[in-house]
Every structure is written in structure tokens, then in C-alpha cells.
Structure 1
Amino acid sequence: MAEGWDRARRSISRAARATAGAGRGTFRAGRTAARRTAHAGGAAVRGTARAGRGVGRATRRLTHAQGAGRTGLGRLIELTAAHSAGDAMVTVALAGTLLFGLPVDQARGQVALYLLITMVPFTVVAPFVGPVLDRFRSGRRYIMAGTLLARGLLCWGMAAAIGPADGLTLFPAALAVLVLSKAYNVSRAATMPSVLPADIGLVTANARVALFALVSAGVAAPVAAGLTAWLGAEWVLRGTMVIFIAAGVGAVRLPRHVDAPDLEEAEEGESGEARRPRWRTLLSIGPVVGEAMRANAALRVLSGFLVFFLLFLVKDGHLRGNGLPQEALIAILAGGAGAGGLLGAAVASWIRGRPPQVIVLFALGFATVTAAASAFFFSLWTAVVVALVAGFAQEVGKLALDAVVQREIGEEVRSSTFGVVEALLQIAWVAGGLVGLLLSLPSGRSAGPIGLAIVAAALIAALTWVLTTRRRRLRARPRPVPHAPAPATPKPPPHTPPQPEPEAWTHTADLRPAGPEPYADGPRPGGTKPLTNPHG
């Protein structure tokens, strides 16, 4: 029995040692796997960090090219890209709460109300935002930083209002974000001439800023959509707050020459000169700026019209495409408009030596022809084409308009002019959106061609008006008076060899040329006195 007990004990001991060895092996394998996983994760993180640094260095080389890094244009481009990315994330986060979560009929009423409310702040604030920016031109960096920081705080408030669906907080905060965004754009546009490198024109510089802004918005929008579906719109708004605050800190670090002298300091040098009132100067923007503004207003009407007209045609089922769902159709149309804007910014950055007012007319004419053709051949793909062309024309026209204002308007009222321009363009966009809502009401497939035909006729009228006023302006322009040619100075006679001095006894008659004497009876008129008198 003792022998059996010893065998059992040895068996248990061997089993325990085997279990311990297996445990140690499992532990070592787990430790090795954990080390390998950590190493792989660290390598992935390091690779992502290296890729991010490479993208950042490449982006910095692009934004700081052609002297933009020395003048501050590169930093302004990066700041505007962050601003545009934040605006895109706010738009995506609020899209489901304002539009797509509602039935079609209710969405129409909500959108119309939103458009009208959107127009009110611009009609009220436009006369004040620009003059305030002009009054504090020496603090443009801090004004831009203030708009960014304020939007960050508003994003935090909107994030808290989304959960309980507090519309009383959500709508005013969204409108305030929109107004502050336009205030930033006004201040940035007025700042452009002070950071312009010598080798870059105004249209090209504006296009470069717009190109990076569109790219950053195009990258941020799908990221925000994914985060909204995963975490919720409130967390996207909280993340946007961080972006705006970081951009606000970056705005303060812009170069000091971004800040222009105060108006009072500039007026101190006007000793003895009559000062023009600022509003009279603002109203006297000139025919060139007025012409560009009218053309851009027509393009904004087309853009606002297409956004809501095509959207509700899709939601009503009047615009279909081979069984594609409504979300896919809306994404295709939005992608066409976004691609058109990106293409417009790229093309404008390549244009060199073209007058901006001619670029505006080209954009309006191109959009008019495309809208008229799409009315006759209306389908999903022609709608995509007209959306692409509208985005292209709007972007090119706005960049050229900015260049016209920056070139034609003086420093003392430039921000005020940009404020009025932004307000008028926003009102034109809202008017186009309301027209799009009304023309999308008729049922049937004929709603699309009829609506586009009406807008094409309006564009033709606007183009005719702009061309007529331009032709009248060019005819009335005073032409330089040609000056009478100055009398030609007589050429000096050819060099003749010096004549030998006559002898003292030589008579004047000996120096006359051979031939008959015309004045034989007396002295030659205007002649010289004889050197000697032979008779005395």
C-alpha cells in the first residue's frame, strides 16, 4: 500500500511539474505575443506619425511656396484651412438635426424658415460688421482669433443642446456661427493685400487660399460623417471646438504687418485736405466693382437654387438614377458641386495675367450656357453637370470679385465693402434657395426642365444686363487726347573742314562764289562789312 501511495505521489508530482511547465510556456508565449503586438502597434503608430509628418512637410512646402512663407500668406492659408474644416464639421453635425431627419413636407417648411432666418442677420449685421473691422484695422489678428474662439464656445453650447433637442439654443447658435464665419472671411479677404508676395497676383493668391480651404473641408466632411454615425453629433461638435480654439491661437501668431494702421493715424497725415465720409466712400465703389458684384449675385442665385431644387427633386422621387437610393443620388450631386468648386479654385490659381472682371464675365457666361442646355436635356447626369459647372463658376467668380475689391477699394473701407459684398451674396443665395423650394413643388418629371428653364432665362437676363452696362461704361470712358507731335529739331549741318583764314589784303569780293553778282549796285543785304577798305 505504501508503494502504491509513493507511485501516486510521484504521478501527482510529475503532473504538477508538467502543469507548471505548461503555465511557464504559456506565460512566455503570451509575453512574447504581447511584446510582438506592442512592437507592431508601435511600428504602426510610428509609421502613421512619419506619414503624418511627411504630409505636413509637403503641405508646408506648398503653402509657403513663391515667397508665401516670408510674407505670412502661408500661415494665413493654413489658418483658413482649419477654419474651413471646422465649418464643414459643424455643417455635417447639424445636417441630421435640421433637414434629413424630417419628412419631406416638414423639411420644406423648416428649410424655408432657416433660409429666412439666415438672411436676417446679414441684412442687420452687414452695415456694422465691416465698419467695426475697418475701425480696428490695427487688430485684425485678434479679430480673426476672436471669431474662431467664439465659434469654439458656440460649438460646445450646440453639443449640449443636441441631446434634448433644444431648438431655442441650437438655431441662434448656428446662426451666430454662420455670422462669425462670414466675419472671419471678411477680415481675411481685407488682409490679403498686406501678405501678398511680389511674384503672386491677387486672383492666384485668393485661389490658393480657397483651394486649400476646399481640400480641408473635403477631408473633414467624411471624417465628421463617420464620427457622427459612430459617436454622435455632439462629440463631433466638441472635437470641432478644439479645432477652432487651436486655430484661434494660430491667428494671434500671424505676422504683425497683417495689422494695418488705425484710421485715425492715417487721417492725421491728411493736413488741410477734405476727408471724405466713410459711407460716401463705401457707396462710391465704382462701376468695375458693381459689375463684378452683379455677376456674382447671379451666380449665387443659381447655386442656392440648385442646392434645394435638386435636393427636393430627389426626395420627391422626380429625379431618379437606375435604382440608386436617395442618399446615393444626393451624394453624387453634392460631389459634383464640390468637385466643381475644387476645379474652379485650381483653375483660378493657374490663371495669370487675366483681368479679374473678364474672368467674372466668363464664369457667368459659362454657367448660363450650361443651365440652358441642361433645361433641354434634363436627366440625372445633366443635373450633375450643371451642379459641377455652378460650383466651378461660383468659385472662380468669387475669387475674381475678391481680387477686384482688393485692387479697387482703398484700405480705409475695404472691410466694409467686403461686409456688404458678403451680405449681398448671401441674400442672393437665400433668394435662389427660396425659388428652388417653390419650383420644386410641382409634381411630375416636368418640374426639373421647367425649373432649370426659368433659372436659365434669369441668367440670360443678368448676363445681358452686365454686358450692356460694361459696354456703356467702356464707351463713356474718357479716351486720351492725342498730343501734337513736337517740332522736329533741325539736324546740325554736316561737318565741313575749316576754311583757311583770308589774307589781310584780300577783298571781300574775292571770297564770294563765282557767278554773276546779284547785288552789284550796293552792299548785299545782311552781308558782312569788308575786312579792309581798298580805297582809303
Structure 2
Amino acid sequence: MTGPREPHEPDGGRAPDENSGPPVHPGFDKYPPAARSGGRRTPLPPLHPVGGGQQRPRSEEERADAPKAPPMPRKLTVTRVAAMRSRELTNKGIATFHRAAKADGADKSGLTALTYAVMANNATDAAIAVALANTLFFSAATGEDKTKVALYLLITIAPFAVIAPLIGPMLDRLQHGRRVALATSFGLRTILAIVLVFNFDSWVLYPAALGMMVLSKSFSVLKSAVTPRVLPPEIDLVRVNSRLTVFGLLGGTIGAGALAGGLAMATGSVGALWLAAVITALGAYLSMRIPSWVEVTEGEVPATLTYHGDEHPTEVMGRTRVMQPEAPATAKAGKRRQPLGRAVITGLWGNSTIRVLTGFLTLYIAFVAKSKTDHEPLVQAAMLGLVGAAAGIGNFAGNAAGARIKLGRPALIVLRCTGAVWIIAVLAAITDNLLTAALATLVASAASALAKVSLDASLQHDLPEESIASGFGRSETVLQLSWVVGGALGVLLPTEYWIGFSV
């Protein structure tokens, strides 16, 4: 029998005793003392927040607005985890998009609503372009049937050349109902898209496509006249236009273009046309969501495309604002007209030159791809994809650069962009290959975007506040007409690179 255990010694063991039982092994005194039964571990103190400050408890509204974690599935699998992660990333992306669209007070000024409408317009153009990619538009450009080429020009381009100069004066007379006009441009395109669905292989294709083109260009002109009226106080007009372009390119052209391409591959051109019909119906609704104060035009003075002369000097590269003489008190606002300064005229000429090249490249490259790879659809798609990617990257880069650089001398920037476009056109004519043509598209798209930002800066700097909206509408009309002229050249010229770029 063993006796009771002796008290532990300071070293953690116990003193040996001759009468305590059999001897223990030599390492027994190295063992830690036995744990006390019923003992409880002392809890650790709470951790302090990082930074040493006290965290403010969140209110009920903050807890309600906080993003909720997706519910965990009952049984975790690789597929379910991937789907849950994809859903979480999608929700974060949508939240980031909404924050960017509403930044700088855009949601309060009405700029967010206009941004969504611009995205719908770009998405419609992308869907229609995909739907018409394999029609007589491109097959008529092979040079084998000149009658089809003439018909294409007669129905799609010539009428717009006549209509475009009338859009600006119509906007000046449209003192009320601009939101309705924007919504109407979408609503009519909804009808035309449905007409195209059921008459895709008939003669109705060309006039319906003409209507789509005219209404799209009309929306662009209307948008330019509405933008100054939804300007947030935190940012200027140049940054606003760059923001609209970037949102339209990323959310509209690229996103809807990819979706329309997938539908066209699965269901044919009809699927892309139905997508265009849905987008235009949504665009009409978004246009009516624009605040009603864009209709207020009291005190506005329409701008004209005339030069105001040397009696009001404006430096081509300077920053001096043109001061117009005070109008007589007896003159009516409807009879007054605001001419343009030298910097704006320079910007219009430069931008028009660049738009001629971008319009030319838009149709010419597509027709060249059709003529050179008529029986190789994969090669044709690769050529169009290369040039399309170059145009998208250039457009995005030009707008991003315009939003960040200091536009102290906008007219000088326009002249440099025009010079760069001329150099790349000469280089493309000399080298005579697809890669240089894609490079020309990249440079032309970037130069067009940057030159347009510079023109916006000149308009904002040169024109008085009461004429800015009208000036933007008139300038956009000129640019759209220049694009149409370039598109006509792209259809008429032979499909040889050196001939097209030499002209």
C-alpha cells in the first residue's frame, strides 16, 4: 500500500520517502504537478481596436446598408463555392459601378441618369452593328457590284448628310421637351428594330438602317445639348464628357457588343435585333428619368458656326476668354446669336479632319476584310477583332488622358492630334498591311477622343454660359457630319490599303 502523496517541493517534484511504497523512476520529479480538478482557465482580456481608438457602434441604417454575406450552403462543394464566390464578386462589381456613376454629386445633378441613357445608346449601336455584320452592308463592298454600293450610299449616308445640318436649328427651337426628344429617339429605334426582325431579308433593311443611324446621331447631338444642364458643381464639363464616353464604351459598347455577339452566334442576327429592341425600350425609360430642369432654357442665346472676327481677339493658344459686347436691352433673346472664337473654329476644323478618318476606318477596314477573306470567316473575324480592339483601346486611352492632363492650350492639343493622325495615315499608305492599318485605327481613335476633350474645353472657355449648351449641340452636328463623309469614302474607295490611306 502506498501512503498519501507528499507535498511538492519547490522544483515541482516531491520528496522521496522510504515508507511511501515502491521506489519511483528517477525522472518522476521532473513531471509537472497534476492539474487541479474543477479549475477554470482565466479568460484573456479583450483586444483593443487597431489604432488605439474607440470604434463607434454602427447605426441601424448602416447595418442595413452593409453588404450581406451570401448564405453558406448546407453542403460545400467545389461548384457551390465557385458559384458563391462568383455571385459575391458580381455584387461587389455592381456596387462599385453604382458608386462610380454617382460620384462627385452626379446622382443629385442628374448626370447619373444621363449616363445610363448614354450607355443604352452605345449598347444599341453595338447590337445593331453585330446584327448587320453579315448583311449586304459588307457584301456590297467587294467592288463586284457597284449598284449595291451606290444603293448603300444613296439610302444610308446621303440622307443623313442632308438631315444633319438641320438638327442644330431644330434644337434651338426645341425649348421644351428635350427629355421627350431623347426618349423618342429610343422609342422609334425600338419600332425599327422590331421591323428589322420580321423584314431582315427584304428591301426594308436599308431604310430601317438609315433610321437607326439618324436617330443614333440625333441622340448624340441632343446629349451634347443636355450635358451642360446636369453638370455637378464638383467637376467641369470636360471631365463630365470624358466620364460619359468611358461609361458608354465600357458598359455599352463592350458589354452589349459581347452579349449581342453571343446571341448572334446562337440564334443568328435576329437575336441581336431583339436585344437592340429591349435596350432601346429601356433607354426610353432612362431618358425620362433625367431631371426636369434640363428643360429650363430661359435666357439662353443660341450659338452659330460663324467666326466673330478680329474685333474680339482670341489667342489661338491663349486662355483669354472672349468677351462679347452686351446686347441691347431691346433685343429679344430669340433674335440674338453667339458667334464662335478662333480657338473653337480651330478645334472644329481639327476634330472634323480626325472624324473623317475615323469614319473612313470604321467602314473601310470592314469592307477590306470582306473582300480579302471572303471564304475565310475565321480570318475575317480575326481581322475585324484586331481593328475593333485597337479602336476601343485608343478611345479609352484618349478619354483617360484627356481627363487627367491639364488642358491649358486646347487648340494646340487639337493641332498636335491632327498632325499625329496625318503621319499615321501616310505610314499606313506606305507600308500597305493590316498591322499598320490597326495601328492607324488605334492612333486615330485616341486622337479623336483627346481632340474632342480639347474642343469641349475650348467651347467652355470661349462661349458665355448662356450659349454653352447650344454650342455643344452645333459642334456635335459638325462632327457627326464629318464622320458620315469619312464613311462614304470608306465605301467608295478601292479595297487596297495604299489607295485608301493615300486619299
Paired residue type of 1:160: F
Normalised by the size of structure 2, how large is the TM-score? 0.70
- Separation in 1 of the partners of 2:458 and 2:147? 38
- Separation in 2 of the partners of 1:208 and 1:402? 13
- Separation in 1 of the partners of 2:331 and 2:237? 31
- 2:217 corresponds in structure 1 to 182
SS in 2 for 1:95: coil
Paired residue type of 2:425: A
- 2:404 corresponds in structure 1 to 350
- Separation in 1 of the partners of 2:371 and 2:215? 34
8 Å CA contact 2:141, 2:491 repeated in 1: no
- 2:117 corresponds in structure 1 to 79
User: Is 1:387–2:444 an aligned residue pair?
Assistant: no
- 2:254 corresponds in structure 1 to 218
336-345 or 369-378: which moved more? Answer: 369-378
Cα distance 1:304–1:397, how it changes in 2: closer, same or farther (>3 A)?
same
8 Å CA contact 1:314, 1:326 repeated in 2: yes
Q: 178, 184, 196: which one pairs with 1:146? A: 184
- Separation in 2 of the partners of 1:227 and 1:345? 30
Q: 56, 75, 93: which one pairs with 2:94? A: 56
- Separation in 1 of the partners of 2:471 and 2:102? 28
8 Å CA contact 1:196, 1:202 repeated in 2: yes
- 2:372 corresponds in structure 1 to 317
8 Å CA contact 1:204, 1:352 repeated in 2: no
8 Å CA contact 2:131, 2:264 repeated in 1: yes
User: Is 1:449–2:487 an aligned residue pair?
Assistant: no
8 Å CA contact 1:190, 1:406 repeated in 2: no
Cα distance 1:248–1:316, how it changes in 2: closer, same or farther (>3 A)?
closer
- 1:199 corresponds in structure 2 to 234
Cα distance 1:136–1:424, how it changes in 2: closer, same or farther (>3 A)?
closer
Q: Which has the higher helix share?
A: 1
- 1:137 corresponds in structure 2 to 175
8 Å CA contact 2:301, 2:333 repeated in 1: no
- 2:126 corresponds in structure 1 to 88
8 Å CA contact 2:143, 2:494 repeated in 1: no
- 1:167 corresponds in structure 2 to 203
Per-residue deviation at 1:208? Answer: 0.8
8 Å CA contact 1:190, 1:418 repeated in 2: yes
- Separation in 2 of the partners of 1:430 and 1:375? 22
SS in 2 for 1:235: helix
Per-residue deviation at 1:408? Answer: 3.9
- Consecutive unaligned residues of structure 1, counting only runs of 5 or more, are 1-34, 442-446, 456-536
- 1:281 corresponds in structure 2 to 337
Paired residue type of 1:214: L
SS in 1 for 2:176: helix
Per-residue deviation at 1:426? Answer: 3.6
- Separation in 1 of the partners of 2:498 and 2:141? 25
Give CA deviations for 1:299-349 in whole Å, capped at 9, x if unaligned.
122223333443444444399x9x982331222122212221122122222
Q: 265, 280, 292: which one pairs with 1:229? A: 265
- Separation in 2 of the partners of 1:412 and 1:176? 32
- Separation in 2 of the partners of 1:107 and 1:336? 30
Per-residue deviation at 1:244? Answer: 1.5
- Separation in 1 of the partners of 2:402 and 2:408? 10
SS in 1 for 2:453: helix
1:248-327 correspondence runs (5 A)? 248-261=284-297, 272-275=329-332, 281=337, 284-317=339-372, 325-327=379-381
Cα distance 1:318–1:432, how it changes in 2: closer, same or farther (>3 A)?
farther
8 Å CA contact 1:406, 1:414 repeated in 2: yes
SS in 1 for 2:330: coil
Per-residue deviation at 1:439? Answer: 4.1
Cα distance 1:354–1:332, how it changes in 2: closer, same or farther (>3 A)?
same
- Matched residues, percent identical? 34
Paired residue type of 2:486: G
- 1:242 corresponds in structure 2 to 278
Give CA deviations for 1:34-65 in whole Å, capped at 9, x if unaligned.
x999x999988776654443222111111222
- Consecutive unaligned residues of structure 2, counting only runs of 5 or more, are 1-72, 303-326
Cα distance 1:190–1:102, how it changes in 2: closer, same or farther (>3 A)?
closer
Per-residue deviation at 1:112? Answer: 4.7
Per-residue deviation at 1:148? Answer: 1.6
Per-residue deviation at 1:122? Answer: 3.0
Cα distance 1:103–1:77, how it changes in 2: closer, same or farther (>3 A)?
closer
- Separation in 1 of the partners of 2:456 and 2:280? 24
- Separation in 2 of the partners of 1:360 and 1:253? 35
Cα distance 1:233–1:324, how it changes in 2: closer, same or farther (>3 A)?
closer
Cα distance 1:451–1:318, how it changes in 2: closer, same or farther (>3 A)?
farther
Please identify the structure whose Cα radius of gyration is greater: 1
Paired residue type of 1:360: V
- 1:23 corresponds in structure 2 to none
349-358 or 180-189: which moved more? Answer: 349-358
Per-residue deviation at 1:403? Answer: 4.1
8 Å CA contact 2:225, 2:470 repeated in 1: no
Paired residue type of 2:387: L
- 2:324 corresponds in structure 1 to none
